[in-house]
Amino acid sequence: MAFDKIKLKIDPTTVLLSCGNPAIEYYARKDLLDEEMGTIEDLWQLPPVLRILRKQEEDGYWKYPGKIREEIRSREDYNQVETYRVLGELICKYGLNKRHPQIQKAAEYFFNCQTSEGDFRGIYGNQYATTYSPAIMELLIKAGYEDDPRIKKGFHWLLSLRQEDGGWVIPFRTSGMNIKEALLASEPEMPDQSRPFSHLVTGMVLRALAAHPEYRKSEETKKVAHLLASRLFQADKYPDRKGREYWERVSYPFWFTDIVSTMDSLSLIGIKDNPNIQEGLKFLIEKQNDEGLFDLKIVRGSDKDLKYWICVVVCRLLKRYG
């Protein structure tokens, strides 16, 4: 494994190959050791995948299992959040894509949530979800929908809602509206585009841009990447996940903007000539422990193997830089 320039304490592949998870072993061998592996469809028959697929509803969504607070959002909107979560598990951990009929059903469910403007509406009620819209697009792109005109429509909408400084915000936050007020509003709030960008939102948009084989090459995407890199380890400009500590609270599949999701996007885009990126790499490298894993605060999810998944992702991005 080409980690000569990265100088990790120990080669992490040993612990990944011995963790007992066949999906993690698959990606460690394929992405980190460059070994020829069997077809990705082999992972689709694993028991965790089959358990998830059995719970899919006929219309393509997964039902939200928790308590519904209808003053916050409707049952349908909670289901959209749950479907986003589940789809991330299937696509990011087990490589399911649009060749699988149940992924096709889930994709059409999401495209049915897309408005004529191009955004995916519902998770924030009638408000523009500049966080979840690109996050949903990222998953659909990874599932093989990069050439679908509905994805292109989503990008056109995102680019139309950009701030003057080049990043993105949750539009209703620029008017001082709180979440409850926003979710009760009948019309989406337009952003004050003169306000500074939010790195929480911009990082989630950048994930969609970085996932797309064409958009990731554009000069505009590179500008966004440098913009986001300038905010590493700083507090956000808006109330949502404002504190600096949120950079170090990581999850996989990616959810919000954190140091791992950001560095992954920057590595896919190929941004290297930025001192902030060196700071991010240094931070991750110093987090490696004597076992070969990374001592990061993992939030979201009950998967006992999350520490190994985070290790795979960190090693994958370090390899791109190495």
The larger pLDDT score, comparing residue 5 to residue 217, is at: 217
Work out the average pLDDT over 298-315. Answer: 95
Number of domains in the chain: 2
DSSP 34-65: ------GGGGGGSHHHHHHHHT--TTS-----
Residue 293 lies in a domain: yes
Same domain, 223 and 319: yes
Same domain, 125 and 233: no
Same domain, 89 and 167: no
Same domain, 51 and 118: yes
User: How far lies 55's CA from each of 49, 65, 91, 200, in Å?
Assistant: 10, 11, 16, 31
The larger pLDDT score, comparing residue 301 to residue 192, is at: 192
Residue 186 lies in a domain: no
- As a whole number of angstroms, the distance between CA 74 and CA 80 comes to 10
Residue 57 lies in a domain: yes
- As a whole number of angstroms, the distance between CA 258 and CA 280 comes to 11
Residue 227 lies in a domain: yes
Strands (DSSP E) contained in the chain are 249-250, 297-298
- As a whole number of angstroms, the distance between CA 103 and CA 44 comes to 11
Q: What is the pLDDT of residue 177?
A: 86
How far does Cα 78 stand from its chain's mean position? 18
| pLDDT for residue 226 is more than 60 | yes
> What is the per-residue pLDDT across 10-38, written as a single tens digit (0 to 9) for each?
999 999 999 999 999 999 999 999 999 99
Give residue 298's domain range: 1-38+162-176+196-322
Residue 65 lies in a domain: yes
Same domain, 172 and 318: yes
Same domain, 13 and 92: no
Same domain, 5 and 96: no
For 19, the token pair is 């963790």
Residue 109 lies in a domain: yes
Same domain, 172 and 31: yes
> What is the per-residue pLDDT across 60-117, written as a single tens digit (0 to 9) for each?
999 999 887 766 677 788 899 999 999 999 999 999 999 999 999 999 999 999 999 9
Same domain, 110 and 252: no
Same domain, 15 and 44: no
Residue environment code for 141-174, b if the CB has 16+ CB neighbours within 10 A, otherwise e: bbbbbbebeebebbbebbeebbbeeebbbbbbbb
Same domain, 282 and 237: yes
Residue 189 lies in a domain: no
Residue 184 lies in a domain: no
Strands 297-298 and 249-250, bridge-based pairing: parallel
Same domain, 157 and 169: no
pTM of the entire predicted model: 0.95
